[in-house]
Amino acid sequence: MSNVELPTIKRTPLTIIIGFTGGLFFILFYEAFHFFHFIPKNALMPSWEFLAPAWQKGIVPHILWWLMICAISIIWALLYQWTVKKSDTMWPGIFINVILFAIIFILLGWWMEIGPNVTELKHHSIISFCCLFILHGAFVGFSISYDEPYTDNEKHSR
C-alpha cells in the first residue's frame, strides 16, 4: 500500500489554473466592492475605443475586461512561479501586489495620467483597491508556494 503513487499535475498547467482562478476572484471581488459602493465601476477598466459605438455600451467591454484581468493574472502567476516560488509563505505575493498597486495607481494614474488617478478616488476606494490587490497576491502567492517545501523533501528522500 505504501507504493501507491498519487496523480500529480505539472507545475505550469497548475500555475495557469491558479492564475486564471485568481483573476476570476479579483473580478468577483471587484464587482462585489462596486455593488456595495466601495469602488467606482470603471476605475480600472480601460476605454475600448476600437469597439463599435453600439458595442461600447453593452456587455462586450466587460467581457473583454474580464478576459484581460484573467490573462494578466495568469502572466503574473507564471512570473511568480519562475521567480519566487521557493518561499513558503504568502508574503512575497502580497508584497509584489502592493508594488503593482503602487505602480498602477501612483505611477500610471497620478504621475503619468494614463491610469486611475489616486487623488480623484475617495479614501474607502483606495483602501478597497489595496485590499483587493493584497487578497489577489495572497491567493496566488500562497497557492503557488504552498507545496514547494513538501515536493523538495519528497525529491530528496527518494
What is the full DSSP assignment across 20-82?
Answer: HHHHHHHHHHHHHHHHTTSS-TTSSPPP-TTS-TTTTTSSHHHHHHHHHHHHHHHHHHHHHHH
Mean pLDDT of the chain: 81
For residue 81, pLDDT beyond 50:
yes
For residue 74, pLDDT beyond 90:
yes
For 87-99, what is each residue's pLDDT tens digit? 777 788 888 888 8
In this structure, what DSSP letter does residue 118 have?
A: G
State the pLDDT at residue 153: 47
Other CB atoms within a 10 A radius of the CB of residue 136 amount to 25
d(CA 141, CA 103): 19
Averaged over 51-63, what is the pLDDT?
80
Domain ranges of the chain: 11-153
